[in-house]
Amino acid sequence: MAPSTRYALVAAALAQAATAAGVIEMPITYRNSYAMVSVEAGTPAEEHFLRFDTGSASTWIVDKKCAQGACNNYSGFPRVGYNLDGSSTGEQISNSSSIGYLGGKIAGPGVRDAFRTGDATWNQTFLNADESSWAQLPGDGFLGLAFDTISVGATHTVPETLLSEGALAQPRFGLYLGTEFNDTNGQPGRGALTFGGSREDTYVDGEMTWLPVMKDVAAREYQLWRAPLLKFSGSHQGADGQPAGRSRSWEGQTKSTGVFDTGAGTISVPTWDAYLMYQSIGWDFEAIMTGQHIPLCSEFNSTWSVTFSFAGPDPDAPAGSPDKYRDIVLTGDQLARPGFAHREDACYPPFEHGNDDGFFLFGAPLLRLFYTVYDFGGSKPEEYKPQVGFGQLKKEFKPPGI
């Protein structure tokens, strides 16, 4: 598609959005494969690029010193620090807190200041990071989209802040990750993050598949966009040309769950399950892990597929009942990510392993194949009945090669 057509499509989608009250559209910019949105913070306002992350809650922005060299920056992009003293509307709300991620750590005091994007302005709480080990981050911080229950430093997430102020038309956000996953060359790309509504009409072909979001078992509260996973199955064409496959069901045994995390760059699974998953698609896991086999992109084709069966509306129904499962199906060709082992003809293995038993993490390689909707199901925490929705992308919105 010609670039001009792409921008026309985005402009059309955004123009439609601007007419709806309580709906905030944020176009997505990729820098070096990091998906980010921009906000203006403070008075006078300065623009900050933030990596949005459904796997963490508190928003943070590096402070001036951190941006100017106190924190490592190997990203190839300059950073803009948020300066509390330089903003006439900013105030400190808490002493220093820290957040540990799978890939880094940050710390800083909590602050409150004006956030602005498009026509919307609101008071937002976030950490003003004076420490950050995210040296490769080609932006100024994170915009957390997990639940407020795991926010730190007296901060609240962007969607739950807007929700509590009655600023959202609907208690949800929608996400289209676009098509230019490496870089949008300094401009917003086709992707969009929408607060207060979702854009199935624009992006989705057919019905949405909705998965129930569950409370964290230990804390008995909603923390992450996490759904109960009941079964995995994979299939491929056997050597004899006949269909072959394997599956594992967790029903009545250890419970498994899947977390949907825009901040994760892979689909990662428990090691125990990885063996079976690779077997199910006819691949030699051992040979890939030991480096004896470099997967070629030509091996990512539609002769194999994997199905993750999450809990449907009636998960205890007998096998065969249409309400028992809600399936997310991925075909081999959809999972090809070139560039493995610094080779253009090689692709990253489809699944990483090493997770704790029962823990599946679904990152961008899965989320970018769908339009996804994160629905709180209520406007106050005590009314939440969250669910996460998946819609097949219309042809014109699909990533290239899929």
Ligand X SMILES: *[C@@H]1O[C@H](CO)[C@@H](O)[C@H](O)[C@H]1NC(C)=O
Query: x/- contact string, 330-349, with ligand X (CB under 6 A)?
Result: --------xx----x-----
Nearer to ligand X, 164 or 209 (CB): 164
Asked whether position 32 contacts ligand X by CB under 6 A, the answer is no
Cβ–Cβ under 8 Å, residues 187 and 178: no
Residue 268's DSSP bridge partners are 352, 361
Choose which of 123, 185, 249, 321 interacts with ligand X (CB under 6 A).
123
> Which residue type, as a one-letter code, is found at position 218?
A
Q: Which of 126, 304, 325, 390 binds ligand X (CB under 6 A)?
A: 304
Who contacts 194 (Cβ-Cβ below 8 Å, separation ≥6)?
Answer: 17, 23, 24, 25, 26, 173, 174, 175
Nearest-5° Cα angle at 389, 50 to 279: 95
Q: Does 92 bind ligand X (CB under 6 A)?
A: yes
Residue 315 or 338 with smaller CB distance to ligand X: 338
The least distance separating ligand X from the CB of residue 109, rounded to whole angstroms, comes to 7
Question: Is 282 a binder of ligand X (CB under 6 A)?
Answer: yes
291 contacts ligand X (rule: CB under 6 A): no
Q: Which residue among 77, 101, 272, 359 contacts ligand X (CB under 6 A)? A: 77
Using Cβ positions, the residue closest to ligand X within the complex turns out to be: 339
User: Three-state SS for 237?
Assistant: strand
Q: Which stretch binds ligand X (CB under 6 A): 202-210, 225-233, 295-303, 320-328?
A: 295-303
- Our finding on whether 136 is near ligand X (CB under 6 A) is no
CB of 190 vs ligand X, minimal distance in Å: 13
- Separation CA 82–CA 321 (nearest Å): 54
Q: Is 241 in the site for ligand X (CB under 6 A)?
A: no
Distances (CA, A) of 49 to 38, 39, 77, 147, 273: 4, 7, 11, 21, 37
Nearer residue to ligand X within complex by CB, 236 or 326: 236
Residue 396 Cβ, how far from ligand X at the closest point, in Å? 17
Would you tell me how many other CB atoms lie within 10 Å of the CB of residue 322?
9
Q: Are 177 and 368 in contact (CB under 8 A)?
A: yes
Does 185 interact with ligand X (rule: CB under 6 A)? Answer: no
Please give the size of the binding site for ligand X, defined by CB under 6 A. 24
Stretch that binds ligand X, among 17-25, 92-100, 124-132, 194-202 (CB under 6 A): 92-100
Task: Pull the structure tokens for residue 42.
Answer: 């403070």
Binding residue (CB under 6 A) for ligand X from 38, 43, 83, 94: 94
CA 32 – CA 48 distance, rounded (Å)? 16
Cβ atoms 19, 198 nearer than 8 A: no
Nearer to ligand X, 43 or 355 (CB): 43
Question: Is-contact 152 97, C-beta < 8 A?
Answer: yes
Backbone phi, then psi, for 99, in 5-degree steps? -130, 125
Name the minimum Å distance from CB 186 to ligand X.
Answer: 14
Identity at 283, one-letter amino acid code: W
Taking CB under 6 A as the criterion, which residues in 262-281 touch ligand X?
A: none
Dist CA 146 CA 152 (whole Å)? 12
How far is the C-alpha of 31 from the C-alpha of 183, rounded, in Å?
A: 5
78 scored as a contact of ligand X (CB under 6 A): yes
Q: Which residues bind ligand X (CB under 6 A)?
A: 68-69, 73, 75-78, 92-95, 121-123, 182, 282, 298-299, 301, 303-304, 338-339, 344
